[in-house]
Structures are given as C-alpha cells and as structure tokens.
Amino acid sequence: MRPSRRAPDELRPVSIERNVARYAEGSCLIKFGETHVLCTASLEEKPPAWLRGTGKGWVTAEYAMLPRATHERTRRESTSGKPSGRTQEIQRLVGRSLRAVVDLVRLGEKQITIDCDVLQADGGTRTASITGGFIALQECVRWMMERKMLTVSPIKDHVAAISCGISKGVAVLDLDYVEDSEAMTDANFVMTGAGGLVEIQGTAEGAPFSEAQFLEMLALARKGIGELVDLQKKAVA
Amino acid sequence: MRPSRRAPDELRPVSIERNVARYAEGSCLIKFGETHVLCTASLEEKPPAWLRGTGKGWVTAEYAMLPRATHERTRRESTSGKPSGRTQEIQRLVGRSLRAVVDLVRLGEKQITIDCDVLQADGGTRTASITGGFIALQECVRWMMERKMLTVSPIKDHVAAISCGISKGVAVLDLDYVEDSEAMTDANFVMTGAGGLVEIQGTAEGAPFSEAQFLEMLALARKGIGELVDLQKKAVA
Amino acid sequence: MRPSRRAPDELRPVSIERNVARYAEGSCLIKFGETHVLCTASLEEKPPAWLRGTGKGWVTAEYAMLPRATHERTRRESTSGKPSGRTQEIQRLVGRSLRAVVDLVRLGEKQITIDCDVLQADGGTRTASITGGFIALQECVRWMMERKMLTVSPIKDHVAAISCGISKGVAVLDLDYVEDSEAMTDANFVMTGAGGLVEIQGTAEGAPFSEAQFLEMLALARKGIGELVDLQKKAVA
Amino acid sequence: MRPSRRAPDELRPVSIERNVARYAEGSCLIKFGETHVLCTASLEEKPPAWLRGTGKGWVTAEYAMLPRATHERTRRESTSGKPSGRTQEIQRLVGRSLRAVVDLVRLGEKQITIDCDVLQADGGTRTASITGGFIALQECVRWMMERKMLTVSPIKDHVAAISCGISKGVAVLDLDYVEDSEAMTDANFVMTGAGGLVEIQGTAEGAPFSEAQFLEMLALARKGIGELVDLQKKAVA
Amino acid sequence: MRPSRRAPDELRPVSIERNVARYAEGSCLIKFGETHVLCTASLEEKPPAWLRGTGKGWVTAEYAMLPRATHERTRRESTSGKPSGRTQEIQRLVGRSLRAVVDLVRLGEKQITIDCDVLQADGGTRTASITGGFIALQECVRWMMERKMLTVSPIKDHVAAISCGISKGVAVLDLDYVEDSEAMTDANFVMTGAGGLVEIQGTAEGAPFSEAQFLEMLALARKGIGELVDLQKKAVA
Amino acid sequence: MRPSRRAPDELRPVSIERNVARYAEGSCLIKFGETHVLCTASLEEKPPAWLRGTGKGWVTAEYAMLPRATHERTRRESTSGKPSGRTQEIQRLVGRSLRAVVDLVRLGEKQITIDCDVLQADGGTRTASITGGFIALQECVRWMMERKMLTVSPIKDHVAAISCGISKGVAVLDLDYVEDSEAMTDANFVMTGAGGLVEIQGTAEGAPFSEAQFLEMLALARKGIGELVDLQKKAVA
C-alpha cells in the first residue's frame, strides 16, 4: 500500500485553472495533489541577442519555490546570491521540454518566458511545472493569435511530464514527498501528446536499478502522461 | 473622480483569507483590490546569533514579487544576484512595523520570519504586506499557544498600514498603481489598533507638499487603518 | 538636560567649508558637531541610458562611511560584496531630496553624482549629507555656468534636512549618536528654503508615538532647517 | 559512415594513465579519443558538517574545463563569479554516480573529493569524468588501505559511463564533438560493473525519440560500458 | 626640468598631522603634495582565526580611494562587487611592509587594522599609505601602552616608502600623477629606519631598464626615505 | 647544501614541450622541476573595447591552479566567487611581462590571451608561467604568420623570469616550495633576451635585506634567465 493509499499506477488528483494572473499573456495554477505551481507566460517582442536576425524565436523557463512552500523554510535564492544547482537544472529541463513542441521559426523573433513559481511543494514540482508551463505557453499563443501577431500556431503537439519510482520494490507513478524520500530509484519522464520521448532522467538513489524496472516505470509514465494530456485538453476546452 | 471611481476616503475592497499555506505555522492571502500578497509565518526555535543568551526573540520579514506580478515582467532578484534597494527598504519596514506590537521578551529565544510574496501587484504592496503579515504572525502565535510553547501572547496590539497621496490636488486614500504613478505626493502610514503612530513615510514626487496636505493625509490614514484593523479582527474571529 | 547640554531646539555647531576637493566640479566638508561628511559633485556629459534623447538630466547620490568613522570599525562594503540595505536607503533618500529642487529639463542631458563620504559619524549622517550635498550641487552648477554650459541655473530652491526625536518624553532637535541610541522615536525631515516638505520619515523605535508628538517634532525641524538654509546661504556668499 | 569512420558500436581509443598527480591521494589521466580529463582524489579527514557524528563519509566531485580545452576559448568561471548551470549539473552527476558504488558507512567519517579537470574537450567530457573519476577514487582507497586507514575497501563495484545518440537515424556509441552537435538525440548512461543502471539521461534535441530508439541506445551503452570496465581493470592491474 | 619644477632628488612637500580621527586608536592625515591619505588604526582584541592560540598577533591593512579623489570619478568598489586587483595588490603591500617592523609575538593575540583612505590622489598613494600607516600604527601602540595593554613596544624600527622613476632618461624621486603617466619605468621602495630593504617593485612601462638605472633609483629612494623617517620622528615628537 | 642538493646558482631541470593543446593557436607545457604549467595562447580577432580604433592590439594573461596542484587541495576560485588577490597579482604580472616584448601596433587590432594553468605546483609558478607563456605567444605569432595574418613578427625580444632568495644567509636561484617556505627574502626577476630589466619584485619575509644581498640575487637571476632564454630558443628550433 502506498502512503497515499493510491494504486501503483494512479496519479494524484490533478487540477488546472487557467487565467489566474491578471497581467500575464498566459497563466495557470496547476495542482498535483498538494503540489501547487503558478505558471505564467510573458511575451517579449525581441528574442535573446544571439538569435537576432535569424528569424527564430525562443521559449525559456525560470523556476523558483516560495520560501515556505516546503515543510521547513528554505532560504531565498536572492539572499544566497545565485540560483542553486538544483534550480538551474530544473529550469533548463522545463525550457528544453517546452521547446521540443514549439516551431521556433513559426514563432518568429520573439521570446516567451515561462515562470514556474511553486507555492506549495509535495514532490513532483518539476513535472507539474512542465505540464502547467505548457498551458501557460498555449494561452500566450492564443493571446497572440487573437491580436493577429501569429496566424498559425507554432505549437506542434502537447507536452507533459510525470515522475515514477521504485518504492519497496514496486514501480509506482507520481511520487509525493514522502514516497520520494524513501524511493530507491527516481525517474522523470517528459513525453509529447503523440507519445514521443522528450526527456528521460533516471537516478538510482540507493542500489542500481535493472532494465526491467526501468521499463516498468516507462510504461507507468506513458499511462500517466496520457491522462495529463487529456486534462490539458479539457482545461482549455 | 478617482480612476477607480472610489471616494477620496474609500479603501479598495479588502479580503483576508487565513490558513492558505499547508506547512507554515501561520499564513494568509490578503487582497487590497488587485494587489494580492501571500504572507506566511515560519517559526525557528533559535533567535539570530546576536540575541542568543539574552532571553529575547526576534520577528523579521522578507518581501519579494513574483516576476509577473507586474504589468511588465521584472527580473528575478536571484538572477541579478541580490535584493534591490527597494526590496530591502520594504522588508526592513515590514519587520520594524511588526516588532512594534510584539513583546520580544515574552516571545522568548525564538525567531518568527514573515514572508510576504506578492502574487499580483496593483500598488500598495508594502501596506498590504504589513496588514497581512500581522495576521500570519498572529496565527503563528496561536499555533504556539495551542502547543503550549507560549502561555501569554507576546502580541500587544494590532498593526496595519495604508498609503495616501495628493492626486490632482486632493488627498486620497489607498492608491492603486495608476493613481500612484500620477500622484504628486505619496505617503505610507503604519499605526496600531490603539491609534499610535509606528511609521510615517512621506515623499514629494514632484512639487513639495504643505503641512496642511500632510495632515489631511494623516486623517485619511487614521480612518483607513481603523477599517483595516476591524477587518483583521473579523478575519480571525 | 540633553547629554550634549543643548536646549531641545538647539542645533549642534554647524560648519560648511566649500571647495575642499581639488578635482571635483563642486565640493564641501560639512560638520554637524562631530559628524563630518565630505560631499563632492561629479559632472558627467551624458545622462543615464534611460534618459537619453529625452532632453532631461539626472542628479543621483552615493553614500558611504569610512570604516573607522564609527566607534567600532565597520567592515568595508567592497569586502562584503554589496552596499547594505541601510546604505541604499540613505543614498536613495539623498538623491530624491536633491532632485526635488532641480529642474531636470533645464539641466539638460547631463548627470551630476553627489558623493557623500562620512569621515566621522556621530549621528545625523544622512541629514548632513543632504544639507552638504546641496552645497556641492550648487557649486557644480556655478562651475558649469562659469563655463557657459548653462545660462540659467536649474536649481529652484534650497534644500536641507535635520533629525528630531522624542528623548525622555521631550521632542528634541538634531540628535547625536548617544541621544539617537536612547530615543524612543526618530524622525528625519527634508524641507526646501520656502518651507515646503520634501520628505518625512518617522519611526517608533519602542512605543508608538502620538500625533501631538509628531507635530512638535515637525515644528522643531522647521526651525532647524530654517537655520541650516541660512548657513548654506552664508557659506556660498 | 560516422565522421570518425568508427562503427556505430565502436568506442574511441580509450587510455587510462594512473598516478599522474604528485600530491593527490589518487589520480589518473583518462583519454576518450581527443577528450582528455585529469582526475584527482583528495582525502579530507573530516566529512561535511551535516554528516559529523553519523559515522558516514562522503564522496563528492567538482568539474571544470580549462579555458582553451575547447575550439573557442571559454571564459573562466572564476571570472564570471560562479559555476554555470551546466558545470553544476555535471558535477552533481559525477558525485552521485561515484557514491552509487561506495559504502559510505565503511568509508567512515571522511570526505573524498574527486576533481575532474578537462584539459581538452572533444565531446563526452562527463562520461570520461565518471569513468576516470572512479580510478582516482580507487587509487585513493588503495592509498588509505596501504596506510591502514581502512581495512576493508568501501568500493562495492566498478562504475563507468558512456554517451549514445541517434545520428542520421542510427543509434551510435560514444559521440565526439562533431557528432554530438548534429545528433537529434543525446543520452548518457552510467552503469556498474555488474550491469546495474545508476543513471540514465536522454534528451531529444530536435524531434522526440521513440522507445525502440531508446532501447537501441541502451544496448549500445551496455556494450561500451562493459569495455570501459575491462579497461579500468587493466589500468590498475 | 620636472613638471613640478622639483630637482630630480626632491620630495614633494610632505606633512603629517596626527590624531585626526576621534574614534580610532591611532590616526594621521598624511600629504605628499596633492596626494592626501587618511590613515587610521583599529585595535581588535582577537587575532584572525588562524592565529588563535599561537600567542602571536597580526597587523593588516585595507586601502581605498574616495570616488572623486581622482581627476575623473571612479566607480565605488562596493558597487562593482569586489576590490579590484590593483586595490588588493596595494593593501597586501601595505600590510607586509608594516609587519616587517612589528614583533608579532610581543604584540600578543590582537589584531591592528590600518585603513588607508585616499581623499585626494596625485600619484604615490601607496607610498604615502605605508608612510602614514606607520604613524597610525605607532599611535595605536602608544594608546595601548598608556592603558598598560603592552609594556614593551612591539615596533622594532620605522618604515617608510617612496616611488622613483626614469623620466625623460633621468632618474627622479617621488613621482606625481603627471610624471607617473609619462615615466618609462616606475619603482616603489620600502625601507626601514636603519636602511634595510623591505620591498622593491620595479616595472618597465615601455622599454626595459638597465641595472645602472635601477641603482640610481635605489640611491634616490634611500635619500627620500631617510627624509621621510625624519619627518615621521618629528610628527610624533 | 640546498634541500634539493643543487648549487646556489643552479636551476631545476627545465623542459619545454610545444604544441600540446590541439585547439589553441599556440601552447606549451613547461616544467621547472616538479612545477608544471600548461600555457596556451588564444587569438581573438578584436582587441578589448578601449583599444578599438587605435590600431593597437593587446596581450593579456590569466592564471589559475588546479585544485590539487598543491600539497593540500585548495578551493576552486569559481566556488569562492572571484579570483584571489594573489591570482590577480600574478596574472597582471604575466601580462605586463609579455607586453614588454611585443610591439602592439605591429600586432594590430587583435587580442592574444595567454592562459597559464598550473597542473602541479612546487614553487616558482609565476616565473614558469612567464617563461612558458612567451613560448605560447611565439607559437601563436608563428601560426598567424603562416596564415599571412602578420607579415612581420610583433615580438621584439625574448622574455623569461626566475625567482631568487636568501636562504640560510646565502643567495640561491630558482626556489622550490620547501626552500621558498623557509627563505627570509624572496625576489622575482623578469628580463629580456638582451638582458634588459622588465620587472623586479623583492620582498623581505622576515628581516629586511641589504643592498649587497639584493645585488647577489640580481646576478644569479641574470645567469638563470640567460639559461632559460637559451632553452626557449632550443624549444622552438
């Protein structure tokens, strides 16, 4: 039995609320159980300097946690002088994942920044950030199309993400904080709506894991991401 | 007529929702119209190093804005390497204001950190932070008393804050962003429930202001803070 | 009786010596008793980037203390990596106060930086910095007019500043370090030669203060600033 | 045909030279073709602060490139003020991979730091760092056993790493810089001598990849890592 | 003829005024012509951490220029985030030079920090800092002896410093800014009262210099430092 | 007898291996006994901003030690946030020394950066860096001439450097780490092939040194640098 009494292949309750930030071109509040992430999309009329004149745009992401999103208060990164290695790793992952479904030429010389701010953290903040970040991005594109800034959407497919782990020898889907702390193996998967793999990150926390275990986690992820993509579609319907 | 069609002495709609952060010892979401601030209180068992052995505790505050709380996205302070002068000025003000109503000896050798994170900004974020920060602090004290960590509350009185300004020659209460941008004079007032003055900050943005104008603003502030203290009392009732 | 044996409404001996820095376009050494501040004005031919093309200039200020200006040596801010919150607060205040009496359009696309370096500190360094900074600014404008860089002075009025406090229940003018450490309330006032209010900052250090106490301090400040403006006029006569 | 004329499942020539740093407790110079990494192990008698009193030790890693290891000179990270996100990601990966084969209780309250300094970079620097870092670690343990600081080795198994990619539709092993720049998918695998999986990182650079492609890369990695472990064994024989 | 009309072996007018900083344990204002340096000595009851328990004390120095000490305003180092290479080089030199004449065991477990703040700069700021820093140090020792913190002075000899250069082919003493900018070779010498060499730094700015030229500069320095030591003795008489 | 059993005027075995870095325009690995420095030259098509439009180029240097180049591991400067004072002092010295033999007008508007990375440190790293840095620079110029980017070499002479010291009262040449730690006086000399002096830095570590001792060291340096220049010539023959 999982600590949350969920079945091994069961997601936490997921909700996606659009249009929560008055000033952003796109936004949503996504909840994976007790993990809550506010995602906003901000449009800039110019791409980063290294893309000027290429006809291509850019999608990037930033990630942070409020200091008391967690059980113990964590120090603000503005106070410690720089984003931690973990923060940088996550925001690079979110940016890469979103760019995998965007046609940057079709976007044109613009930049969209997706900010993922974790209001409350109970495990899985990076996968919620990718899944919710996609909605904020999509809303931003809709906003641009309504204003005739784009005639064809540069978004090629959905993208979503979920974590899996080996907990007490069993492969399980969508770990919360308690499960994540105990799991021997922790893996994050990012896939498109069509089922293509965008990113795989698997880490043995204790003993190494086997290929069979890895394939079990991959199958769970495929199921979970399918459900998340359905929820994304409902959210914007 | 004010841009918001409010009377000169009229606050924006104010709401205070307690207990919004699962892990914090105290929290609230306070709204002054379209300005929304999430306030949390975090208890630490030890005071800062310079108070150890004195029998006294400490209350401190940190303040930040989400990057897209504002009309234009602002850069994260973790990226620019340090909190800006404005951020430091505000967090020092919030901390001083809250300490003005706390008996630090009665609190004992502990520290309470109030985090004020602006989710959406439409003027008056520092006054909303003080007013909401008080609620988070009060909730934290209640949490400590329920656990017998304190037998008598160290909170001596309420504290709340509001801005005033001279807009088109008229003194007005609780400026929103549009009004704040145009006002010739901008003042912030912090007062206790008993009406004592804790902090006054008045700044001429263009022409100097007169003593008469200042006294008009002070009278408006007294009325507004009285209403805010009533709302604080209702919120925890 | 005040520790310095002054009457409640008595300034410390104030002196202003002009033309003390060989290379600066304007300078003075101002003394409020044992508080000594070296103020210099540096002219730059270009305004900050955000003003280029607007026809307007800028006046800004920087503030620092020598490490052994104080009773105990303080660490250099170049060593700690950044100006402290207190330093930033003061230099923003000095800059705002000086700009209140300058017509930035008449100044034209130039920048004047006022550096206020505290050689010795005995309370009131920010008010001495504003009062002396005005003289450095005025000297710089005279230097520019002598060189036909300006035909009409952009300075519209004098500006000066003084602190007041409630010490042992009595309102007193121009606190020195000892008095400042003990005062229950500390307030800084910035006014023009014509008596207009530019900035008011009042802070309760212990118990809140009353409106009556505040008005007593305001009256003292008005008297003290009047005397300072007279001294400014004599210094440049 | 690969740019290097290698077969799809062929490693670059790999060499491992031990004992290259006079002062380090363990060291090697590892070459994967034109990628050259100097790995040293430094023993400290104390573990990091958060492990003191637990009876456990720690193994950590740092990674850097010499400025002219690359085609174009890159700026030193000491000049830019902090390690980049990429650097931090790699050194966290190297540390985790090495700890996966160390019994930290058997190591006892000590810390071993593995420094991986890239003298020349032609792709695959992180996989060479893990593979060579293991040798430096093993040499350090041998040094400790010779001095009776340890009676039983805390090293439980070998660990090595290799990259794979999908290049022109074909899965290939051990990408050099040219191939890496063009590959549509890039994956890094870390495995133990017994074949257990320690870390998997797969990233779609352009189009998403399929499960079949991923399994092809995994099979290549298994073959390559087997060969690297054999080379590790020969190097210390 | 030198730009200042001095003879090749002639110092600028030098003055040393003691006891200029009210709170410091020792201080002086030293002038080498238009170069003015405020030197203070600050006593700390504890040596730096690495000397605790050794019975030895430490003398260290810090150096800075006010932003408008120079012809053009220079940026504050607190703003640029760190002391420049030049600043660090000078403060290391000043500290080493002063320690050369102090018996650190006789000083005991204390630290004296010499702050050298350049109020006005016209060349030779580092040599004025050493020469004046010695006076501040000596005053601090006198202060300690008056309070019976020391019974025997730890100061073993005088120390002073001067610059020399090759200007238009001729060796000259004590370069001012104009001469320094044009000189082909620039050298700084630090010597004790007894004539021992403490530090020599000679740099070819354009063409290399010959041994004969170097010896000429050394002879000039010996003469100049002799005069400075006499002035140091008079200043404290 | 010296710890290394060398005669007082005897260099350590010196070797210079050219062309060790595949991607750099010039490179060498220089060894002064157990001190090993990898020197590379990187050509940039543009000079630094302050030289643009002047027709002149620039030669600069950076210096660093690998963390385990030394007996005890030293912390990376990227981790501590900035290059140390010692590092900055050395890289300024190396740059100045190399520029002393380069005609910057003949180089034209380009920049050559010499990176000196100490792989192993046993005293004398700065002198080895200058001596080896010259070879990397010369190789870079040869590379440019082969590509017709220069028709006449801008290198005017050789430059090399060596340390001397007073050890147990005797002047000795080329100190290793053990000797350097014990020496009472430490001096570094930089000279051209023609015997001109470029830089002299002499420091009393304990007692001051005499002019006679200094001249002895200068004579030893002249002999040693003569031998180094011969080795430089052989290395590129």
pLDDT digits (tens, 9 = 90+) for D1-48: 899 999 999 999 999 999 999 999 999 999 999 999 999 999 999 999
The Cβ of residue D200 has, within 10 Å, a number of other Cβ atoms equal to 22
With CB atoms and an 8 Å threshold, state whether E120 touches C38.
no
With CB atoms and an 8 Å threshold, state whether F67 touches D66.
no
Enumerate long-range contacts of D5-9, CB under 8 Å, 24 or more apart: D6/D172, D6/D174, D8/D170, D8/D171, D8/D172, D8/D173, D8/D220, D9/D172, D9/D173, D9/D220, D9/D223, D9/D224
Helix E211-236 to helix E125-146 angle (10° resolution) is 30
| Cβ pair A173, A188 in contact under 8 A | no
> What are the two backbone dihedrals, phi and then psi, of residue F221, each rounded to the nearest 5 degrees?
-60, -40
Give F91's contacts in chain E (Cβ within 8 Å).
85
> Among partner residues F198, F199, F208, which is closest to E192 by beta-carbon distance?
F208
| Cβ pair D135, D141 in contact under 8 A | no
Q: How far is CA F94 from CA B20, B115, E167, F155, in A?
A: 60, 50, 24, 16
> Among partner residues E62, E68, E117, which is closest to C24 by beta-carbon distance?
E68
Best B188, B205, B211 residue to mutate vs chain C (most C CBs within 10 Å): B211
> What are the two backbone dihedrals, phi and then psi, of residue B30, each rounded to the nearest 5 degrees?
-110, 140
Distance CA(E157)–CA(E194), nearest Å, equals: 7
> What are the two backbone dihedrals, phi and then psi, of residue F213, each rounded to the nearest 5 degrees?
-60, -40
HSE, CB side, 13 Å, CA atoms: give it for residue E44: 18
Annotated binding-site residue numbers of B for phosphate: 86, 124-126
Buried b (16+ CB within 10 A) or exposed e, F151-171: eeebbebbbbbbbbbbbeeeb
Distance CA(A125)–CA(A127), nearest Å, equals: 6
Give B70's contacts in chain A (Cβ within 8 Å).
23
Report yes or no: E153 at the F interface, CB cutoff 8 Å. Answer: no
pLDDT over 90 at F79, yes or no = no
With CB atoms and an 8 Å threshold, state whether E66 touches C38.
yes
Tens digits of residue pLDDT in F103-130: 999 999 999 999 999 999 999 999 999 9
**Residues paired with residue C197 on neighbouring β-strands, in sequence order:** B209, C191
pLDDT over 70 at E224, yes or no = yes
Sheet holding C26-32, edge to edge: C14-18, C26-32, C35-44, C111-120, C58-65
Neighbours of chain D (3+ CB pairs under 8 A): A, F
Q: Percent of chain A beyond pLDDT 90?
A: 90
With CB atoms and an 8 Å threshold, state whether B85 touches C82.
no
Helix or strand (DSSP H, E) at A132: helix A125-146
Instruction: Count B/C contacts: CB-CB distance under 8 Å.
Output: 81
Quick one: pLDDT at residue D184? 87
| Cβ pair F113, F91 in contact under 8 A | no
pLDDT category of residue B85 using cuts at 50, 70 and 90: confident
Buried b (16+ CB within 10 A) or exposed e, D153-188: ebbebbbbbbbbbbbeeebbbbbbbebbeebbbbbb
Helix, strand or coil for residue B204?
Answer: strand
Quick one: pLDDT at residue E34? 97
Among E189, E192, E21, E34, residue whose Cα is nearest residue E115: E21
Best C72, C184, C203 residue to mutate vs chain B (most B CBs within 10 Å): C203
| Cβ pair B195, B168 in contact under 8 A | no
pLDDT over 90 at A184, yes or no = no
| Residue-averaged pLDDT of chain D | 95
Quick one: pLDDT at residue B217? 97
**E70 is an annotated ligand-binding site residue:** no
What number is the average pLDDT over the span C141-168?
97
With CB atoms and an 8 Å threshold, state whether A81 touches B76.
no
Structure tokens at F52: 């643009």
pLDDT over 70 at B81, yes or no = no
Structure tokens at D54: 């637990």
| Residue-averaged pLDDT of chain B | 95
Residues 6 or more apart in contact with residue D211 via CB below 8 angstroms: A197, A218
pLDDT category of residue D82 using cuts at 50, 70 and 90: confident
Neighbours of chain B (3+ CB pairs under 8 A): A, C
Tens digits of residue pLDDT in E27-80: 999 999 999 999 999 999 999 999 999 999 999 999 999 999 999 999 888 776
Taking CA–CA distances from E118, the nearest residue in chain C reads C66
Amino acid at C73: R
Report yes or no: D119 at the F interface, CB cutoff 8 Å. Answer: yes
Taking CA–CA distances from C156, the nearest residue in chain B reads B207
Give F191's contacts in chain E (Cβ within 8 Å).
208
Quick one: pLDDT at residue D206? 79
What number is the average pLDDT over the span D215-237?
96
Taking CA–CA distances from D87, the nearest residue in chain F reads F78
| Cβ pair D21, D27 in contact under 8 A | yes
What number is the average pLDDT over the span F39-57?
95
Among F153, F157, F177, F154, residue whose Cα is nearest residue F167: F177
Strands C111-120 and C58-65: parallel
Instruction: Count C/E contacts: CB-CB distance under 8 Å.
Output: 89
Least confident of B6-20, F66-80, F122-136: F66-80
| Cβ pair E94, E61 in contact under 8 A | yes
| Residue-averaged pLDDT of chain F | 95
Tens digits of residue pLDDT in A73-106: 998 887 766 788 899 999 999 999 999 999 999 9
With CB atoms and an 8 Å threshold, state whether B27 touches A77.
no
The Cβ of residue E173 has, within 10 Å, a number of other Cβ atoms equal to 24
> Among partner residues D194, D208, D218, which is closest to A100 by beta-carbon distance?
D208
Distance CA(C192)–CA(C195), nearest Å, equals: 5
Measured at the alpha carbon of residue D93, what is the angle toward residues D87 and D98, in degrees to the nearest 5?
Answer: 130
Alpha helices in chain D, H assignment, sequence order: 77-80, 85-99, 104-107, 125-146, 177-182, 211-236
Amino acid at C64: A
Distance CA(D23)–CA(F68), nearest Å, equals: 7
Give F192's contacts in chain E (Cβ within 8 Å).
208
Residues 6 or more apart in contact with residue B218 via CB below 8 angstroms: B164, B189, B200, C211
* CA–CA min distance F201, chain E (Å): 5
pLDDT over 70 at C81, yes or no = no
Report yes or no: F170 at the E interface, CB cutoff 8 Å. Answer: no
Measured at the alpha carbon of residue C126, what is the angle toward residues C121 and C131, in degrees to the nearest 5?
Answer: 110
| Cβ pair D174, D12 in contact under 8 A | yes
Neighbours of chain C (3+ CB pairs under 8 A): B, E
What number is the average pLDDT over the span B164-182?
94
Helix or strand (DSSP H, E) at C32: strand C26-32
Q: What does pTM read for this prediction? A: 0.89
Distance CA(D152)–CA(D99), nearest Å, equals: 17
Report yes or no: E48 at the C interface, CB cutoff 8 Å. Answer: no
What number is the average pLDDT over the span D81-94?
88
pLDDT over 80 at A110, yes or no = yes
Quick one: pLDDT at residue B36? 98
Report yes or no: C188 at the E interface, CB cutoff 8 Å. Answer: no
Tens digits of residue pLDDT in D114-129: 999 999 999 999 999 9
With CB atoms and an 8 Å threshold, state whether F40 touches D67.
yes
* CA–CA min distance D153, chain F (Å): 23
With CB atoms and an 8 Å threshold, state whether B21 touches A78.
no
For residue B64, give the DSSP letter. E
Distance CA(E195)–CA(F182), nearest Å, equals: 23
Report yes or no: E164 at the F interface, CB cutoff 8 Å. Answer: no
pLDDT over 90 at B76, yes or no = no
* CA–CA min distance D136, chain F (Å): 12
pLDDT category of residue E206 using cuts at 50, 70 and 90: confident
What number is the average pLDDT over the span B33-48?
97
> ipTM for the complex?
0.93
Sheet holding E35-44, edge to edge: E14-18, E26-32, E35-44, E111-120, E58-65
Helix A125-146 to helix A211-236 angle (10° resolution) is 30
Report yes or no: F129 at the D interface, CB cutoff 8 Å. Answer: no
Quick one: pLDDT at residue D160? 98
Report yes or no: B160 at the C interface, CB cutoff 8 Å. Answer: no
What number is the average pLDDT over the span E132-146?
98
| Residue-averaged pLDDT of chain C | 95
Strands C111-120 and C159-167: unpaired
Q: Name residue, tokens 């760092």.
A: D129
Best E197, E216, E222 residue to mutate vs chain F (most F CBs within 10 Å): E197
Quick one: pLDDT at residue C129? 98
- For chain E, how far is it from start to end, CA to CA, in angstroms? 35
Tens digits of residue pLDDT in F194-229: 999 999 999 998 789 999 999 999 999 999 999 999
| Cβ pair C87, C64 in contact under 8 A | yes
Tens digits of residue pLDDT in E147-199: 999 999 999 999 999 999 999 889 999 999 999 998 889 999 999 999 999 99
Give E32's contacts in chain C (Cβ within 8 Å).
none
pLDDT over 80 at D179, yes or no = yes
Q: Burial of C131 by CB count in 10 Å (0-12 exposed, 13-18 middle, 19+ buried)? A: buried
Annotated binding-site residue numbers of C: 86, 124-126
Report yes or no: C24 at the E interface, CB cutoff 8 Å. Answer: yes
* CA–CA min distance D39, chain F (Å): 10
